[in-house]
Structure 1
Amino acid sequence: MEYGFAVMGVAFMVTVAAVKLFRPIAVSIGLVDKPGGRKHHSGAIPLIGGLAMFAGIFLSSYIFLEQPPFVRVFMLGGAMVVFMGAMDDRYDISARFRLVAQFLIASLFVYGLKLGVGSFGDILGLGEIRLGWLGYPFALVAIIAVINAINMLDGIDGLVGGLGLTSFLGLSLLFVGGGQLNIAWLCLGLVGSLMAFLLFNVWGKPSDKTRIKKVFMGDAGSMFVGMALAVLLLFGANEQSAAFKPITALWFVLLPMTDMVTLMYRRIKRGKSPLAPDRTHIHHILMRAGFNARQTLYIMLFAQMCLVSLGMIFNYLPQTEAVSFSCCLAFVLAYQLLMKRSWRFIRWNKRRFA
């Protein structure tokens, strides 16, 4: 395990150094997020978190990890996602172009590494559900969906970084338990990079007079976190490299995926584009209910920790795939009821703290 901590430590230090290096460059080329519209932060904040995190994980992985095809393709796909995200952060590229680029990057993993979903397991209690050739297009859609779900959830400081840190830490334990030590160290490298980013994102200040200057993750960072999470979950649930049950992967993305699907359905129902931005994510509901940004962050991270922990517990219990899947469906149903009656929750919580 000491080896994994070394990877994490180097990733942390490289990410910190990369933030310091990239920050003045970002300001000079206009790679910053300015307040206005739905953005209420103070000052122009550099959008370099994703670039710095990728630098940290790339260098630490190159130094410490074995370089099988999966790790090499992971870094190539990560570089492509970060580049696309940085272009979007700087020039605001169209949603259609982003989707095409995401499709090509996802295809690199699915068809280049044969990273399909061979089976859902016995999630209905009626025997194993196998997908056959459909496992490849399903995996393709899954990668794109998780990338966008994580990207859409990036609404308050520390949220995507904290969710990613929780998920990668849990995945590192699962990969250790499954004997996939090289991939476990990759997950810990991601944890180290995210810890460094959170130092600047959560505790940094916009002012130039502070020692820790604030940075944002940007689309480059949120899409990289989404890609890394989706690909590692597919790899761990894949029959050729199985480290955990397929249903376990769902627990790690249950919160962002449920939030995204719910919002897209409600937007379509109102006659709007499913990709149109708004302020109806779960963290916006919590803030309208009277919680401040830091309290909302803690609530969301606690929820993610509970979901990841439940997934890991079910993973190691025998013959619980159907129960695990039923609990996932129960969470989705509870989420729908909360969102449908969110105005009641907002009013009740405001009265409670009045």
Structure 2
Amino acid sequence: MRVYLFIAAIAGGATWLVMPMVRHLAIRVGAVGVVRARDVHKVPTPRMGGLGMLIGFAVAMCFASRIPFITGLFQSGHQAWVILAGAVAICLLGIADDLWDLDWMLKLAGQLLISVFVSWGGIQIISLPLGSLVAASPSLSMAITAFLIVASINAVNFVDGLDGLAAGIVAIGGIAFAIYSYIIARISPDYASLATLIDVAMVGICVGFLLHNWHPAKLFMGDSGSMLLGYLITCASIVVTGRLDPATIHASIYLPAFMPILLPILVLFLPVLDMCLAIVRRLSHGQSPMHPDRMHLHHRMLRIGHTVRSAVLILWGWAALIAFGSLFILFFPLRYVLIGLALAAILLTFATLYPYYRRRLPEIRRENALLAAQGSQHAARPHRHRKSRHDKDEDN
């Protein structure tokens, strides 16, 4: 564990150190995001922070390749280098988009091409839980792998709308998955885990970047950063699945063995949910799935009265609840996990809706006061006495 913490520190330190140079470079080459109608920031801010994150990740991987405990991961196969090559390619594609705002179809084609290359290089899901442990065909493995990578890339890209939001959510998911992959690796003779290595390095670059991206941000990660993070967290999960041999898996560990297929979706639940809602919303209006708007989850948080920082912290809380809740289910009694999740969900729901009800409270009081005043006026109004039949007989 100390080795992994050291790798995370190397990744975070390298990322933090190079970010000022990346910011200066972004300004020099014109990678500065103009303020658009859908943006939250008020001043033009340099983007292309993904370049610094890539440098931090590459430095951490190079250090790891020289550490005796981990060096076997780089010598026994080429998966680590394939992942690094794919990271370089996906970051370069993002830098091109940060500079020239590529057409979404061209960007999607580039993502698919890189995903297929990585899958062809050995980063594949080799088995599927379809009623029983079934080995997937190579073509199906490549297709599923490419789909997962592209979906995660765009999910993180969609949620990258507030300072620190995307980096924090991915870091939380990375911590949860690093714990899971580390525990899975301990049942093998060799504790070294490529998935854990990728996750801790990714968490490190997220933390190093957050020191420059916390509101008010000095630098945005841009598509080069959001695409890189989505790519890395998915590659880490696929590496775990790819190491499992369906013929040796016992039914008693069926769920833990195939949790790598589900856990990336759970740790990225908020980005995936936001992406799905955005696609459905835009298609229902006859728009392109990539058409920008101000209806993302973080925009809704700001609209109900949250500040940028409070919105980010609460969304981090929801991400942690889902990511660690899905992890705890595997290792703790279900009833205790559900009780803890329910209590945390109640607190987060209160924190999420508090600004809305605080803003609505004066309006509700005015409405109640108005209704009370109308009721008192109605009660004070004299009513005409209607004579009964007995009274009329006496009058006669």
Which of 99, 106, 112 is the matching residue for 2:115?
A: 106
Q: 1:188 to 1:351 in 2, by over 3 A?
A: same
1:144 corresponds in structure 2 to 150
Name the stretch that deviates more: 130-139 or 12-21: 130-139
1:76 corresponds in structure 2 to 85
Question: What code does the residue aligned with 1:38 have?
Answer: R
Secondary structure in 1 matching 2:37: coil
Retained in 1: the 8 A contact 2:178–2:199? yes
2:32 corresponds in structure 1 to 32
1:90 corresponds in structure 2 to 99
Cα deviation for residue 130 of structure 1 reads 4.2
Retained in 2: the 8 A contact 1:237–1:249? no
2:252 corresponds in structure 1 to none
Q: 1:129 to 1:201 in 2, by over 3 A?
A: same
Alignment of 1:229 with 2:233, yes or no, is: yes
Which of 145, 154, 161 is the matching residue for 2:160?
A: 154
Cα deviation for residue 6 of structure 1 reads 1.4
Alignment of 1:283 with 2:298, yes or no, is: yes
Which of 177, 185, 198 is the matching residue for 1:186?
A: 198
CA–CA separation in structure 1 for the residues paired with 2:47 and 2:123: 33
1:14 corresponds in structure 2 to 14
Cα deviation for residue 317 of structure 1 reads 5.9
Q: 1:114 to 1:165 in 2, by over 3 A?
A: closer
TM-score computed with the length of structure 2 as normaliser:
0.74
Give CA deviations for 1:62-83 in whole Å, capped at 9, x if unaligned: 1123324121011100000110
Q: 1:159 to 1:274 in 2, by over 3 A?
A: same
1:335 corresponds in structure 2 to none
Which of 213, 216, 220 is the matching residue for 2:224?
A: 220
CA–CA separation in structure 2 for the residues paired with 1:131 and 1:315: 24
Retained in 2: the 8 A contact 1:117–1:234? no
Secondary structure in 2 matching 1:157: coil
CA–CA separation in structure 2 for the residues paired with 1:353 and 1:294: 25
Cα deviation for residue 108 of structure 1 reads 1.6
Aligned length: 323
Larger radius of gyration: 2
CA–CA separation in structure 1 for the residues paired with 2:134 and 2:201: 33
CA–CA separation in structure 2 for the residues paired with 1:115 and 1:253: 20
CA–CA separation in structure 1 for the residues paired with 2:268 and 2:143: 19
Question: What code does the residue aligned with 1:232 have?
Answer: A
What are the ranges of 5 or more consecutive residues in structure 1 without an aligned counterpart? Answer: 122-126, 206-213, 332-337, 339-343
Question: What code does the residue aligned with 1:307 have?
Answer: I
CA–CA separation in structure 2 for the residues paired with 1:196 and 1:46: 17
Cα deviation for residue 185 of structure 1 reads 2.7
Give runs of aligned pairs for residues 1-354 of structure 1, distance below 5 A: 1-65=1-65, 66=71, 67=74, 68-113=77-122, 115-116=124-125, 118-120=127-129, 127-128=131-132, 130=134, 132-133=136-137, 134-179=140-185, 180-202=192-214, 214-238=218-242, 240=244, 245=259, 246-316=261-331, 350-352=359-361
CA–CA separation in structure 1 for the residues paired with 2:158 and 2:361: 30
- CA-based RMSD of the aligned residues comes to 2.9
Give CA deviations for 1:82-128 in whole Å, capped at 9, x if unaligned: 1010110011111111011000111022222150252136xxxxx43
What stretches of structure 1 move > 6 A for 4+ residues in a row? 344-347
Secondary structure in 2 matching 1:119: strand
Question: What code does the residue aligned with 2:156 have?
Answer: I
What are the ranges of 5 or more consecutive residues in structure 2 without an aligned counterpart? Answer: 66-70, 186-191, 246-255, 364-396
